[in-house]
Amino acid sequence: MKMKSPKAMIPGLYLTLFFAYLFGPLIIMVITAFNSSNFPRVSPWECFTTDWFGKLVADDALIEGIGNSLIIGIGVVVVAIPIGLAAAIMLSQVGPKLRASLYTIFIAPILVPGVVIGLSTLIFWDRIGTFFNAPYESFFYDGTFLTIFGQVTFIAAYSMLVFLSRIQRFDHTLTEAALDMGATPTQAFVKVLLPFMAPAIGSATVLAFLASLENYNTTVFTIVSSSTFTTVLSSKVRYGLDPSISAVAVIIISITLIGAIIFEVRNRYNSKGWALVIAERPALKVATHPGTVAGILGVLAIGAVLFIQNYDSNACTAQILEEKRALQQQLMEQQSLDTPTPTQSAPSSTVPSMPSLGPLGGDEGGNEGGDENGAGSDSSAPASNPFGGANGIFAPQNLRGSEGN
Amino acid sequence: MRDLFYDLVRRNGMAVAIYLMLAVSVWVFLLIILPQLTMLDYSFRFNLPPAKIGGPEDVYTIEQFKYFFQGGGSSGGFNALDIGILFKTLFSAVFVTVFDLIICYPVAFILAKSSSGAKARLLVLALIVPYWINEILRAFAFRILFGSTGVINEVGMGLGLFDSPIDFIREDVALYAGLAYAYILLMIFPLYNAIESLDSNQIEAAQDMGASWWQVHAKVVIPYAKPGIASGMTMVFMLTSGALAAPQILGGPSNLWFTQLVYQWFNSGGNWPRGSAYAMILLLVCITLVLLTMRIFKVSIGEIKR
Amino acid sequence: MTKEISLEHVWVEFGEFTAVQKANLNIAGGEFFSFLGPSGCGKTTLLRCISGFQDPTRGVVRIGGNDMKGVGPNKRPTALIFQNLALFPLRSIADNIAFPLEVRGVDKKTRRKRADELLELIALPGQGDKKVSELSGGQKQRVAIARALAVEPDILLLDEPLSALDLKLRQHMRTELRAIQKQVGLTFIYITHDQGEALTMSDRIAVMNKGKVEQIGNGRTIYDHPTSSFVASFVGENNVMDGTVLTNDGKMMTIDAGLGAAFKVENHPAGGPALAPGDVCQLFVRPEALHLAKDDSGINQFESKFVSEEFEGNMRHIVLDAQGKKLKLSLINDGTNAIRANAPVKLDFAPNLGIALKPGELASA
């Protein structure tokens, strides 16, 4: 056997680096969700904790946002899928000239920036509402309805592309065959074309739902006074970095991974090569059935939840707290010996667990908070203390200041 | 329109034809065209309190666009701040797009031509998984990564590359990295689809005739993949210049993205007409740029796919 | 049950392009009728006119005496078997066969019963629950026929249904198709570019070229007595020589083809426009009609030189050169070899096997 030449290893190496860029930030974010430090970070590692998950469950705003997101997601699917399907079918049936211009119109919402779509949707329905003298409680001003309309505008285009790639593989002689055998055009549509499109309807539904769930740019305009999962998340991120956000990421990543694994297993299970292997060994058939895999993953998830509920990180956190106190004590004593400077005295703030880590972590708050303030034009009083309050590093005032330019 | 409808009836029957026409009309008129026209109309109006709307003062004006160029002061001024933000946004979006193209091309090529079957599918799945994670969370991950006690600074200082933490947020490094990361998939897939459909024999034939590896790419693969490259670049450019979440989370304090200006006029500013005007400016400039580029590279809009 | 079809002055135009010009023919009930021609000759367009997918620009299509104008494909008593068969991949075999009944609102039990009957007919009993993808090419073929027969149409239209099959299966299916046609007694209209299929199965054949029906007749007539240069050169192989008519007494012609003595050729009564002395003509002699001359006494004799040979097992195809004209001679491989390279080869042919026609377009090889 010959060793691979260095040149042949370049693609593998490049892929490794690329996937490191792709997954590295996510992995680090996941790790921070289990560190008891109040600021999301990997080092210094304090204690393994699952408290941040508990904090999520107790977050009413987030739960409400998720609820709204689910309602909007279902609404978007119900409206966008029939539209996307109709558009794809229409494109497949018109002449080349009309097809080109229709395609340009249909694809436009994907290229138009999300903020523009959100804004125009809001303005348009506001004007319609004014025209009809509709009261403020009517749906013209309702965040959920507006968000569904806004998101459908471009998600219908996404689903159209899914349908289009499927319908391109449709053999139009099948419809002709159905007509020839006495089917009415409607019967041919329902009994031949629609069943052919069924798998694409499935995948377009998943895609549309996910696109709706994760949309921010459009939603932030159309949601008005209500909230969705992403808008709640975004205000959480902007008003203070907090490991509970990492915990949200852990949950989302887990769901995505489980979905991906089940998808892959299902694919392999249904693929021809595997069918042969499986056919010879009944045990393998049971073990690799997508249902079995889903079951195992489910058991693992429940196990993780039970573990989280029973695991108690209090002992460790208390110990860390003690260490910090000791360190702080030591610093104070040192300070009283040296000439005290304002920066050094500041760490003795009201919340002991956060800032006073001396050389390692303490200046993080100072540095970032300070910069934000320095640049922000008119940030208000409390943030001018470089060390901020409880979670003062990215206190709302700072960000508001920086945005208000 | 009537011909189209009759044709659809003939092909699909009355019930289905009505469904097709109705669904597409609702989409095109109620969701796409009319809202855009309303926004256009709004952008040419004064910002009036509700009571005065429809009154004698509610007339068309170019005031909102003038503001973008001349600022709020007396006439003849120059709104260097907002115009600067627009240019910076566009320039950064171009930079991010080119960066994505450079890092994604090799990946797309390796995936399309060197991997096979199950392995390629697994890699593609691995590409999709990060894309399903919320935009906000992806930006948040970069905030953690590039914070002054983030992993990058810790490692950098640990290795002795620099003494004090570098403020990546302020330097916009985090923003560019986060934006490039956010839309990687939209660059890879068009590239992958384009390169995948290229007959591998063409590459081998070129090598056989003595082309070096970069000649193979420059003269065979890239010209063939041009529609894919164009559609990937268009998507990434439009999404980057229209991004809102990443600049809000990762943007440095003194650095605004143009979408944030729109957001401000609209929300905190409460000035819908000016917000509309700024949105129109963003839309027009971006579309002009994209159409211009497509004209230069001789690619049609019909070739743009997700 | 079976209905006759008539096409009256049917034209089909697509913009500037004329796909079918002035098709005028009658197909009797119960007949196996083929349209034969190269691709793009308009035969599929004509079939689509009969099945209702295409409206003629001018002219009338009648089925059983009724004008079919405005009658959709789903209302016509025709059933079409598509080139790619167009079986529904997501339906089982039985559901495919029962589809025409399903769309007519026939209940499930009756449908299943009829499907089973038809599966018997096509010799695939008990296979109704299989998927389409589980069948072989020939089996799919038979399922497509069964599906077309499910509602007992009057006319079965077949659009090159055998072209996707391999050679052996194709030859087998020819016999089978003909047998099914005899059994059910329907009118079959068959489209093909393969003359072997047309000749073996059909009662009558219409040869088409560039939208025009060139000749209609049974296989024998088409092969032995073509009425145009195109038919002579498209159906089977033919040697063609340019010549001039010297005499024509109505029964026999003499033709100077520049190969020594003038050839004597029969003037066929069916043969198109008459040739007068002095007319330029094309003389067709099939490779199997050429004959190695035994002695110097026969008529229509001429000399040639050996060029090359293609050996096909049962047949030997010999390329010869007669004063610069390339000719092909087909001989049965009977173990003898009377041809030597460099020696002159003497040929002759019988007067009834030469065909003289007005010069016209030849089928491209």
Output the 3-class SS for chain A: CCCCCHHHHHHHHHHHHHHHHHHHHHHHHHHHCCECCCCCCCCCCCCECCHHHHHHHCCHHHHHHHHHHHHHHHHHHHHHHHHHHHHHHHHHHCCHHHHHHHHHHHHHHHHCCHHHHHHHHHHHHHHHHHHCCCCCCCHHHCHHHHHHHHHHHHHHHHHHHHHHHHHCCCCHHHHHHHHHCCCCHHHHHHHHHHHHHHHHHHHHHHHHHHHHHHCCCCHHHHCCCCCCHHHHHHHHHHCCCCHHHHHHHHHHHHHHHHHHHHHHHHHHHHCHHHHHHHHHCHHHHHHHCHHHHHHHHHHHHHHHHHHHHHCCCHHHHHHHHHHHHHHHHHHHHHHHHCCCCHHHHCCCCCCCCCCCCCCCCHHHHHHHHHHHHHHCCCCCHHHHCCCCCCCHHHCHHHHHHHHCC
Chain C residue numbers touching A196 (CB-CB < 8 A): 90
C304 Cβ under 8 Å from any chain A Cβ = no
Q: Decide if the complex's ipTM is over 0.95.
A: no
Which pLDDT score, from 0 to 100, does residue A339 have?
55
Touching subunits for chain C (3+ Cβ pairs under 8 A): A
The mean-pLDDT minimum among A111-125, A184-198, C102-116, C290-304 falls in C290-304
Which pLDDT score, from 0 to 100, does residue A356 have?
35
Which pLDDT score, from 0 to 100, does residue A44 have?
66
pLDDT (mean) for A219-248: 83
Determine the residue among B11, B99, B145 to mutate to test chain A binding: the one whose Cβ has the most chain A Cβ atoms within 10 Å: B11
How far away is chain A from the Cα of B297, in angstroms, using its nearest Cα?
18
Contact check, Cβ <8 Å, C150/A191: no
Q: pLDDT tens digits, residue range C155-199?
A: 899 988 887 778 888 888 888 888 888 888 889 999 998 888 899
Residue of chain C whose Cα is closest to the Cα of A183: C103
Contact check, Cβ <8 Å, A181/C147: yes
Helix, coil or strand: residue B51: helix
pLDDT (mean) for B171-195: 85
Chain A residue numbers touching C151 (CB-CB < 8 A): 181-182
A96 Cβ under 8 Å from any chain C Cβ = no
The mean-pLDDT minimum among A261-265, A364-368, B97-101 falls in A364-368
Contact check, Cβ <8 Å, A11/B141: no
Is 70 exceeded by the pLDDT of residue C208? Answer: yes
Contact check, Cβ <8 Å, A179/C88: no
How far away is chain A from the Cα of C269, in angstroms, using its nearest Cα?
42
User: What percent of chain C is helix, strand and coil (3-state, nearest 5)?
Assistant: 25, 35, 40
Contact check, Cβ <8 Å, C103/A183: yes
For the domain covering B78-303, report its CATH number.
1.10.3720.10
pTM of the model: 0.76
Chain B residue numbers touching A100 (CB-CB < 8 A): 302
Contact check, Cβ <8 Å, A241/B279: no
Q: How many residues does chain B have?
A: 306
Q: pLDDT tens digits, residue range B240-251?
A: 888 888 888 887
Is 70 exceeded by the pLDDT of residue C121? Answer: yes
Chain A residue numbers touching C99 (CB-CB < 8 A): 178, 181, 183, 191
Structure-token pair, residue C166: 């391999």
Buried b (16+ CB within 10 A) or exposed e, C79-116: bbbbbbbbbbeebbbbbbbbbbbbbeebeeeebbebbb
Residue of chain B whose Cα is closest to the Cα of A97: B302
pLDDT (mean) for A38-56: 72
How far away is chain A from the Cα of C212, in angstroms, using its nearest Cα?
26
Which pLDDT score, from 0 to 100, does residue C178 have?
87
How far away is chain B from the Cα of A376, in angstroms, using its nearest Cα?
6
How far away is chain A from the Cα of B89, in angstroms, using its nearest Cα?
13
Structure-token pair, residue B211: 């082309």
Which pLDDT score, from 0 to 100, does residue A389 have?
34
Q: Which CATH architecture has domain C5-224?
A: 3-Layer(aba) Sandwich (3.40)
Contact check, Cβ <8 Å, A191/C147: no
B231 Cβ under 8 Å from any chain A Cβ = no
**Cβ within 8 Å of residue A228, ≥6 positions away:** A65, A68, A69, A72, A147, A219
Residue ranges of domains in chain C: 5-224, 237-357
| B174 vs C37: which has the higher pLDDT | C37
Contact check, Cβ <8 Å, B133/A256: yes
Contact check, Cβ <8 Å, A103/B301: yes
The mean-pLDDT minimum among A190-194, B44-48, C5-9 falls in B44-48
For C:125-184, CB contacts with A below 8 A are 147-148, 150-151
Residue ranges of domains in chain A: 59-238, 315-336+349-403
CB nearest to C103's CB, from A171, A187, A196: A187
Of C41, C84, C35, the closest CA to residue C201 belongs to C35
How far away is chain A from the Cα of B192, in angstroms, using its nearest Cα?
14
Contact check, Cβ <8 Å, C82/A195: no
Direct distance between the N- and C-terminal alpha carbons of chain A, in angstroms, rounded to an integer: 65
Q: pLDDT tens digits, residue range C145-162?
A: 888 888 788 889 998 888
Q: Which residues does residue C61 pair with via DSSP β-bridges, in sequence order?
A: C7
Count of Cβ atoms closer than 10 Å to residue A358 Cβ: 16
| A42 vs C363: which has the higher pLDDT | C363
Which pLDDT score, from 0 to 100, does residue A156 have?
93
- Which strands form C187-192's sheet, in the order they lie side by side? C78-81, C155-159, C187-192, C32-36, C204-209, C212-217
Determine the residue among C71, C90, C143, C152 to mutate to test chain A binding: the one whose Cβ has the most chain A Cβ atoms within 10 Å: C90
For B:176-195, CB contacts with A below 8 A are 181, 184
CB nearest to C84's CB, from A171, A181, A183: A171
Is 60 exceeded by the pLDDT of residue A394? Answer: no
Q: pLDDT tens digits, residue range A77-114?
A: 999 999 999 999 999 888 888 888 888 889 888 888 88
Contact check, Cβ <8 Å, C79/A181: yes
Which pLDDT score, from 0 to 100, does residue A401 have?
33
Banded pLDDT at B26 (limits 50, 70, 90): very high
Contact check, Cβ <8 Å, A256/B35: no
Q: pLDDT tens digits, residue range B44-80?
A: 877 776 666 666 666 677 777 777 777 665 555 666 6
Q: Which CATH architecture has domain C237-357?
A: Beta Barrel (2.40)
Q: How many residues does chain A have?
A: 405
Chain B residue numbers touching A9 (CB-CB < 8 A): none
Is 60 exceeded by the pLDDT of residue A393? Answer: no
pLDDT (mean) for B155-178: 75
CATH of A59-238, picked from 1.10.3720.10, 1.20.1630.10, 1.20.1070.10, 3.10.350.10, is 1.10.3720.10
Q: Any long-range contacts for C341-345 (C-beta under 8 Å, 24+ apart)?
A: C341/C306, C342/C305, C342/C306, C343/C306, C344/C303, C344/C304, C344/C305, C345/C292, C345/C303, C345/C304, C345/C305, C345/C306, C345/C320
Which pLDDT score, from 0 to 100, does residue A362 have?
35
Structure-token pair, residue B240: 């980057």
Is 60 exceeded by the pLDDT of residue A175? Answer: yes
Residue of chain B whose Cα is closest to the Cα of A360: B149
The mean-pLDDT minimum among A143-147, A302-306, B103-107, C45-49 falls in A302-306
